[in-house]
Structure 1
Amino acid sequence: MDFDFTDDQQALREAVRRWVDKGFAFERRRTLAKAGGHSRAVWGELAELGLAGLAVPESQGGLGFGPVEAMLVNEELGRGLVHAPWTNAALAVPALLAAA
């Protein structure tokens, strides 16, 4: 059994890591915290990366990735202390819609 990440999974992790390292430095987190913690701009940037459609099937315009890719994204967002409703919006909502 192979437990290594695929090339696509590694590329996803690196893309999110680069975004966090480049655009989510301490000063930005501090500014967001002072403003209440939420920002439409952060969600917009995550959507531009394609992360809003991570768990949405490709047949419906998403990336069609699964739980391993979601874990990789959550790990990188957590590493950068990114405060955004990504898990709720990008993972829970598509799962609920698929079940409906």
Structure 2
Amino acid sequence: HEHSHAAAITGANLYGADFVWKWAPDGNYKYRNFTFSAEYMLLDGVVDSKFKDEAESPDNLTAYYVSGVYRFNPSWSAGVRYGEAESYDGHAHGD
């Protein structure tokens, strides 16, 4: 079957905000530190050219992540990250 994988969903505006906080004991970032970061994005005025008239087609889509990383010596660090993203795909590959 013929179809395209080009950007079928676009929006009027894409907004984003990010935040980073860093901490190092005694001000020595090289040996031990902690970094917290987060990002949020909003796409408004969503336009899906193929499904623009469907009632369940969303007006906005959002996504975010939060992350924390701790460096416990100069060569090693460990961290966690969590994120979610809304999506809308009215397109099914069974067509």
Scaled to the shorter chain, the TM-score interval is under 0.3
User: What's the TM-score, normalizing by structure 1?
Assistant: 0.23
Report which of the two has the higher share of strand: 2
Report which of the two has the higher share of helix: 1
Higher relative contact order at CA 8 Å, sep ≥6: structure 1 or structure 2?
1
Structure whose alpha-carbon radius of gyration is higher:
2
